[in-house]
Amino acid sequence: MLKLKYIWALFIIIGLSSCEQGKYDREIEPPVEVVSGEADFSNMVTLGASFVSGLSDGTVFIASQENSFPNIMAQQMSLAGGGEFIQPLVNDNVGGLLLGGNVIAGPRLYFDGSGPVPVEAVPTTEVSNIITGPFNNMGVPGAKSFHLVAPGYGNVAGVALGLANPYFARMASSPNVTVLEDAASQNASFFVISEIAGNDVLSYATSGGTGVDQTGNLDPSTYGPNDITDPNVFAQVLNTVVGTMTANGAKGIIGNIPAVSSLPYFTTVPFDPLDPSNPVFGPQIPTLNALYGQLNAAYAFLQVPERSIVFSETEASGVVIIDDSLPNIATQLTAVLIGGGLDIPTATLLGNQYGQSRQATAKDLLVLTSRPILENPLNEAYAAFLISQGVPPEQAGQLALNGITYPLEDKWVLTEAEQLAVNTATDAYNVSIAAAAAQKGLGLVDSKGLLEELATNGLASNGFVLTDDYVTGGAFSLDGIHLNARGYAFLANEFLKAIDETYGSNFEDANALVDIGDYPVLYSPVLR
Amino acid sequence: MNKILTVLAIFCGSLMFGQTSVSGTVSDSNTGDPLPGVNIRVMGTSIGNSTDFDGNFSLNVNEEVPFSLEFTFVGYQTQIVNVDGDRESLQVALVENATSLDEVVVSASRTPESIRESPVTIERIGIKDLKNSTSASFYDGLENLKGIDLNRGSLTFNSINTRGFATFSNTRFVQLVDGMDTSSPALNFVLGNLVGVNQLDLQSVEIIPGAASALYGANAFNGIMFMTTRSPFDDQGVSAYAKTGLTIQKAAGDHVYYDIGVRYAHAFSDKFAVKGSLTYLKGTDWYATDQAEYSNDFTAVGEPDEILPYRSSPSHDGINIYGDEITLAAAGADFGFSDLKGFGEFLESQGLLDPGLSNLLPEDNVGRTGYVEPAFTDYNAESIKYDVSLHFRPNADDLEILLNTRGGYGSTIYQGTNRYNIKNFLLQQHKLEIRNDDFFVRGYLTTEDAGDSYDMRFTGINIAKFGANQWFGEYLEGYLGGVLGGANNEEAHAQARIFADSNEATTPKPGSELFNQLFDEITSDGDLSTGSKFIDKTSMFVGEGNYNFARLLDDKWDLQIGGSYRRYSLNSEGTIFTDYDGPINYSEYGAYVQAIKKLMDDRLKLQASIRYDKNEFYDGNFSPRASVTFAVDEARNHNLRTSYQTGFRYPTTQDLFIGLDSGQGILVGSSPDNLDRDLPGTDLTGRKVYGDSYTLSSVQQFQATGNPAALVPIETGLVQPETIQSFDLGYRGIFGKIYVDIAGYYSKYDNFISNTFVVTPNTGTTADASGIADLITGNATGFQTYTNSKADISSYGASMGLNTRLWKKLDVGFSYTLAKFDFDQESDPDFSAGFNTPEHKVKFSLGSQNIVGNLGFNINVRWSDEYFWQSTIANAVIPQRTVGDAQINYSVPKIKSLFKLGGSNLGGKEYQSAPGSPFIGSQFFVSWVFNQ
């Protein structure tokens, strides 16, 4: 019977070893479940202006809305109980708006290989075709803080008059409802507020400071479109908005306002594009300096030598600009020039032309839109004016060169003083935002700090380094102010990370942030 | 023709002797069915013949009457018939063996013994099994034996694995044909049956799983297989087969193949006989088209690779895609960039790209697109085997002198580190042997010529090097075009690839004039940095002899002594070995003695043997073996066996003398003679590499951390022989009508031959800071060295076979095999054990020689567990599988023919033996065998 024992022993071996199943399955770490922490993403409402709406390349279009940072966030939140996120999608990928069939906002920009060009197509989004909400994304391009609580801001009838906002008008639940009311009525479980004060300074800045700093004026109804909103007005609106959104206990997160100096709109065009190696400009330098020699003598005589204009023959020189913070000395200048021997018409003309001008310095920011007029400097309107004043055409042409002989108008330049006004207001707004967030225990995203880092060292993510360079920086859209899809994706990740920090969700740890490489830098010219 | 020769032979014979002619029929005593293939021999002579398909035989005998005829047939009891004059229609009825225990095997003890007496586990197939084989070739059919795995790398090149640690290049397994080692002298492993035996000429196959070095010397390590051919004295006449069928595979489609063979043998007298055989096979090999990448970037040694789907990254390196190994990181190494962004910045610095644009580029490495394997081969599977031998028996007794030449020529695909198209190779063997029942002395020479063989991966790599810089430039252009046109990263990569690939000047399409021109240049160039040709004209001479003193000792003892000598002549013209200055020669020899003593009425058999081997590079090595077999009962129906075996293998010719620049590192063999020889691609010598280097892993750590303390200088030990000790325990016996064979073993391995990777400073030394300075300046070279692992490895397993016959007609077989190994990865973290064997295997067979009349059939079903395949090409888990083969056959004795219809992998579910190798599809065949 010895043999049988061996057989049984063998069967025991077989039995033991066949217990191990799937022994070669590699221990793959199970995907970490995405959790929302204390937050409830089931009904998110986002409130703000153009960034929230997903505006890119100068306008809003379907693709840009789909890549809005709130929508990107919502897609990731769907992994952690997030609900549907409905956006007021426009009609096409052309962008722009119609009102009563007339184009009131032009199509989006595309990159033609050298610069931004509007797509050759007609917008089809008719503002008066009111779409039915509610919309989770309440980002209203162009809205200033106080507009969020302004009745009638969504009234189609007011759009043509400039009393209402076309983007809100097409989505407002009724003509007199406010943006905040439409947001609040959705009873959000979670909200995002971003750059609601952005336009309170931005339109001032983008207009080259043509508006008025209304700090101290507490009545926004008296403000012009390009004015800076009083910080207390903003603070009051902010508190109303935050108070309303948190009334039912909703959690939320707020982003603050970036500094304009971080935006390529202000940093792309150099203050000193006048390069002596330029074959058109270079040879003219001696002539121009001879011309300005007389003017500079007059400035010296008037004790304002800092207004002197000299073009270097070895390095790039600053353009000539109007600085409306300078005293206008046209009369005195004219008198001195006459005293210097010029005939009265010429002296008057030059006195007016250079009475409030100086050469730009590194502290001046030229806006992106000034680039075409610097590339083709002849200001035909002014040349025509000069000719009408009896100046010979050739000389009129020479005196009507933008930034060289014809000082750049105020709207093209954000001077140091104007920047100061913007920055002061921005900082004040951001103090209010931080305070509101702290008071309500909300998350805070330091958009200002982020964009400063973007502009100084760049921001690295997923193998890309985003910078504030126009086009090649990879973060900003062609309008130079708003982000592109990749930039918005980055911003969405930053918001998600801040939510992680505030509410204990785990988007970052669960690898549930987006890969910014999945989002384009530019949109195709043929996208419609 | 044959008849005339026969007549002539008879005529010649009758001039000298009086002749007795005997004819008749042999049948099964039980069923009355005629028995084909029964051996008939005149006792005391070597004269004989065998029965035909009808069981008929005829014999003309010169012996004086009376004489005795011995009728032997596998599975039947031997019968002796006395003849006292001419006999016609002699009727012989053979009685079937009660048991298969009476089968005779030779190889286990180098002397014939019944299988019950065999001291070790042994598997055998004979002529009857050939008829029943469900596989298109008998070699493939070996897979149905218990404990035998077949690694299928190609239609024609399949590799046997017993007891694990095998790849397609199983250097731990020996295959002998009539005593000749058929392995390739340069590759050190056997090319399946491409250099083997024609099925018509096959007498038997015996396989001993486990170590057998005590009798068979080096490399009989994990197993040994013996193929024996038929003697022209015993099996005469013409036989032929023709086989055709279809191979069906998803990747390749359906292809017709055919296989024909002929054998002719004739004994002119009882002193002189000749034999010749020839086979020709042509078909289409299995395609290997796996485009996935097997990445071990984030997996530890001993874990399966991460399998990344096609194009999962821009630098995707598909396992059966060649040329995609050429990456931007490699191209940019000299310029200091390693990714697309770095390339852009480099172009900007050269003024070749507008400033700033590089910022839009990702930090992604990019690889060329490459070509899937079918671009590099027509998958021609072709095999010609020939065999001619002259046999002379000067005394018309058992003393025989024979001269034999055999060879294999053809094309196949072999998978090693890369996949090789073995094209028009020729391996020949020439043997002179003198033997009788007591001794043999033989010498044979094996020569090989790799013909037009080439490495398919390096073909792709060297084609991809063509125009690579331009291609990368166009890729970058395409990427930027994509981004500026609105693409995201993934889309931009896709557009860039399409754009760059569309330029046929850098990316020739397979079949285009440029592609063919490059292909021809590269595959005829043996320098791997520019070409892919495999040059090999290595040869090997073996002389060996054995004397059995049993007869001198009156069969009281069995005492054998023997010895062998082997000489290699490596000749690769400097392309594989460091033989740039002419062939490298080296030799080894061995001697052994074996004693067997039977006691207790032969029920107890004791056996002991020891072998001494010496290679000119190594100290002598003793391999002992001891075994006991014991028949528990007097009827010898229950037999136990146990043995202690040792085995060893010398480092292969490549381990010793390789000198090859693979592009990623230089491979340098570690024989003492190789250390001072020139190496390709470097001025360093092996001596410096083995004595004064850093480990690669420590250099990688240094590069990552910058901490010189991380560097580990290493003196790599020169490779030593690998050894194994094995304990076997087994039982063979009969329970009622069930034949049972059970075996278990435990093996322990020492000095497993392995590779290490080192980095050698070109001018400095690891002894001081000069080595570190070399690393910092990139003045260092990477090498792959050959050494032994410190790893503690053991393996154990068991097998059980059950066979029975039901209703006198139906043969049923079942076997189970367990194979496990034990290895502590921490004992040698970088060592890849490569057991490559399923833990559980179950095999089942059902068949009948003649279920109804002349109709026979057989079915084989094999299940094997999932297993982990580790090899240099990839590491992956091979899923479990069930494969079924079947055949039906019909014999037509009137025309001496057997017709068979068969198919393998009938389920059609394709399976892989290993990552990178083809998925094996189904194969159907019809065959006709004619046997005079």
**How confident is the model at residue A2, as a pLDDT?**
33
d(CA B130, CA B251): 31
Give the closest residue to B318 by CA, choosing from B305, B333, B304, B331. Answer: B305
Backbone angles phi, psi at B336, to 5 degrees: 85, 20
Backbone angles phi, psi at B409, to 5 degrees: -135, 145
Contact A519 B488 (CB under 8 A): yes
Mean pLDDT of B659-665: 77
User: Which of A239-243, A262-266, B51-55, B131-135 shows the lowest mean pLDDT across its residues?
Assistant: B51-55
The two tokens of residue B707 are 């901490």
Backbone angles phi, psi at B864, to 5 degrees: -135, 145
Backbone angles phi, psi at B525, to 5 degrees: -120, 120
**How confident is the model at residue B566, as a pLDDT?**
93
The pLDDT tens digits for B4-22 are 444 434 443 334 445 778 8
Distance from CA of B731 to the nearest CA of A (A): 8
Mean pLDDT of A478-487: 95
Which 793-832 residues of chain B touch chain A by CB within 8 A?
A: 798, 800, 816, 818, 820
Contact B820 A14 (CB under 8 A): no
Whether the Cβ atoms of residue B175 and residue B197 lie closer than 8 Å to each other: no
Contact B484 A521 (CB under 8 A): yes
The DSSP element (H or E) to which B613 belongs, if any, is strand B604-615
* Cα pseudo-dihedral B670, B672, B675, B680, rounded to 10: -60
The pLDDT tens digits for B174-205 are 999 999 999 998 888 888 888 889 999 998 89
Give the closest residue to A128 by CA, choosing from A167, A86, A72. Answer: A167
For chain A, percent of residues with pLDDT exceeding 70: 94
User: Can you give the pTM of this predicted structure?
Assistant: 0.85
User: Which of A90-99, B16-25, B478-487, B564-573 shows the lowest mean pLDDT across its residues?
Assistant: B16-25
The amino acid present at B249, given as its one-letter code, is: Q
**How confident is the model at residue B167, as a pLDDT?**
86
Residue B43 has pLDDT above 90, yes or no: no
Contact A6 B820 (CB under 8 A): no
Which 287-306 residues of chain B touch chain A by CB within 8 A?
A: 299, 303-304
Interface test with A, best of B296, B312, B488, B490 (most A CBs within 10 A): B488
Instruction: Identify the band that residue B106 occupies on the pLDDT scale cut at 50, 70 and 90.
Output: confident
User: Which of A54-63, A225-234, B493-502, B707-716 shows the lowest mean pLDDT across its residues?
Assistant: B707-716
Strand partners, B162: B148
Residue A3 has pLDDT above 70, yes or no: no
Whether the Cβ atoms of residue B368 and residue B501 lie closer than 8 Å to each other: no
B799 to chain A: nearest residue by CA?
A: A10
Whether the Cβ atoms of residue B322 and residue B361 lie closer than 8 Å to each other: no
| Strand spans (E) along B450-482 | 454-455
d(CA B374, CA B385): 26
Instruction: Give chain B positions within 8 Å (CB) of A455.
Output: none
Helices (H) then strands (E): counts for chain A = 19, 15
**How confident is the model at residue A18, as a pLDDT?**
39
Residue A26 has pLDDT above 50, yes or no: no
Residue B746 has pLDDT above 50, yes or no: yes
The two tokens of residue A269 are 């065009």
d(CA B407, CA B428): 4
The two tokens of residue A9 are 């022993």
d(CA A379, CA B320): 66
**How confident is the model at residue B59, as a pLDDT?**
79
Out of B363, B483, B877, name the one closest to residue A521 (CB): B483
Contact B742 A10 (CB under 8 A): yes
Give every CB contact of residue B768 below 8 A, 6+ residues apart in sequence: none
Distance from CA of B916 to the nearest CA of A (A): 18
A10 to chain B: nearest residue by CA?
A: B798
d(CA B679, CA B656): 13
Count CB neighbours of B723 within 10 A.
20
Backbone angles phi, psi at B513, to 5 degrees: -60, -45
Instruction: Identify the band that residue B681 occupies on the pLDDT scale cut at 50, 70 and 90.
Output: confident
Instruction: Give chain B positions within 8 Å (CB) of A518.
Output: 488-490
**How confident is the model at residue B110, as a pLDDT?**
81
**How confident is the model at residue B318, as a pLDDT?**
93
Instruction: Give chain A positions within 8 Å (CB) of B740.
Output: 7
Out of A26, A472, A517, name the one closest to residue B489 (CB): A517
A7 to chain B: nearest residue by CA?
A: B742
Distance from CA of A99 to the nearest CA of B (A): 29
Residue A15 has pLDDT above 70, yes or no: no
Give every CB contact of residue A330 below 8 A, 6+ residues apart in sequence: A351, A352, A354, A355, A356
Give the closest residue to B802 by CA, choosing from B146, B206, B208. Answer: B146
Q: What is the DSSP string of B266-286?
A: EESSSSEEEEEEEEEEEEEPP
Q: Which residue has the tokens 């200091």?
A: B336
The pLDDT tens digits for A280-336 are 788 889 988 988 998 999 999 999 999 999 999 999 999 999 998 899 999 999 999
Distance from CA of A345 to the nearest CA of B (A): 48
Instruction: Establish whether the linkage from the previous residue to B66 is cis, with ω within 30° of 0.
Output: yes
Eight-class DSSP state of A213: B
Eight-class DSSP state of B290: -
Residue B242 has pLDDT above 90, yes or no: yes
For chain B, percent of residues with pLDDT exceeding 70: 97
Q: Residues B557, B224, B843, CA angle at the centre, nearest 5°?
A: 110
Instruction: Identify the band that residue A24 occupies on the pLDDT scale cut at 50, 70 and 90.
Output: low
Let me know how long chain A is. 528
Report CA-CA distances (Å) from B868 to B81, B179, B298, B911: 57, 34, 18, 14
Helical residues (DSSP H) of A48-90, grouped into ranges: 50-53, 62-66, 69-77
| SS3 (DSSP) at A468 | coil
Mean pLDDT of A226-249: 94
Count CB neighbours of A162 within 10 A.
8
The amino acid present at B765, given as its one-letter code, is: T
Largest CA distance in chain A: 137
Instruction: Identify the band that residue B737 occupies on the pLDDT scale cut at 50, 70 and 90.
Output: confident
The pLDDT tens digits for B773-811 are 888 888 888 888 998 988 888 999 999 999 888 887 888
d(CA B363, CA A519): 16
**How confident is the model at residue A11, as a pLDDT?**
37
Residue A12 has pLDDT above 50, yes or no: no
Whether the Cβ atoms of residue A137 and residue A88 lie closer than 8 Å to each other: yes
Whether the Cβ atoms of residue B240 and residue B268 lie closer than 8 Å to each other: no
**How confident is the model at residue B392, as a pLDDT?**
95
Instruction: Identify the band that residue B1 occupies on the pLDDT scale cut at 50, 70 and 90.
Output: very low
User: Which of B123-127, B501-505, B540-544, B657-661 shows the lowest mean pLDDT across its residues?
Assistant: B123-127
d(CA B77, CA B799): 28
User: Which of A76-85, A340-349, A415-424 shows the lowest mean pLDDT across its residues?
Assistant: A340-349
The two tokens of residue B720 are 């030593």
Neighbour-count burial of B651, counting CB atoms closer than 10 A to its CB (0-12 exposed, 13-18 middle, 19+ buried): buried
Residue A28 has pLDDT above 80, yes or no: no
How big is the A-B interface in CB pairs under 8 Å? 94
Give the closest residue to B788 by CA, choosing from B837, B827, B746, B835. Answer: B827
Instruction: Identify the band that residue A21 occupies on the pLDDT scale cut at 50, 70 and 90.
Output: very low
The two tokens of residue A101 are 């069939």
**How confident is the model at residue A502, as a pLDDT?**
95
d(CA B207, CA B214): 16
d(CA A149, CA B47): 118
Instruction: Give chain A positions within 8 Å (CB) of B742.
Output: 6-7, 10
Instruction: Identify the band that residue B845 occupies on the pLDDT scale cut at 50, 70 and 90.
Output: very high
Give the closest residue to B636 by CA, choosing from B497, B548, B732. Answer: B732
d(CA B692, CA B714): 7
Residue B812 vs residue B7, higher pLDDT: B812
Residue B14 vs residue B875, higher pLDDT: B875
| Strand spans (E) along B662-717 | 666-668, 693-695, 713-714
Contact A523 B486 (CB under 8 A): yes
Q: To the nearest whole number, what is the mean pLDDT of chain B?
A: 88
Give the closest residue to A434 by CA, choosing from A289, A238, A264, A278. Answer: A238
The pLDDT tens digits for A34-53 are 999 999 999 999 999 999 99
**How confident is the model at residue A294, as a pLDDT?**
87
Side-chain-side CA neighbours of residue B591 (13 Å): 2
For chain B, percent of residues with pLDDT exceeding 90: 50
Give every CB contact of residue A360 below 8 A, 6+ residues apart in sequence: A271, A272, A318, A319, A320, A321, A366, A408, A413
d(CA A194, CA A245): 13
Residue B899 vs residue B68, higher pLDDT: B899
User: Which of A504-513, B10-19, B259-268, B514-523 shows the lowest mean pLDDT across its residues?
Assistant: B10-19
Most confident of B189-203, B400-414, B715-729: B400-414
Strand partners, B900: B889, B927
Instruction: Give chain B positions within 8 Å (CB) of A471.
Output: 356, 484
Q: What is the DSSP string of A260-281?
A: GGGSHHHHSB-S--B-TTSTTT
Instruction: Give chain A positions within 8 Å (CB) of B364.
Output: 463
d(CA A475, CA A453): 12
d(CA B342, CA B351): 14
Contact B486 A520 (CB under 8 A): yes
Backbone angles phi, psi at B5, to 5 degrees: -60, -40
Strand order in the sheet with B20-28: B56-61, B20-28, B87-94
Distance from CA of B209 to the nearest CA of A (A): 19
Residue B918 has pLDDT above 70, yes or no: yes
d(CA B679, CA B659): 6
Mean pLDDT of B308-334: 90
Residue B332 has pLDDT above 90, yes or no: no
**How confident is the model at residue B527, as a pLDDT?**
86
| SS3 (DSSP) at B497 | helix
Contact A524 B364 (CB under 8 A): no
Neighbour-count burial of A184, counting CB atoms closer than 10 A to its CB (0-12 exposed, 13-18 middle, 19+ buried): buried
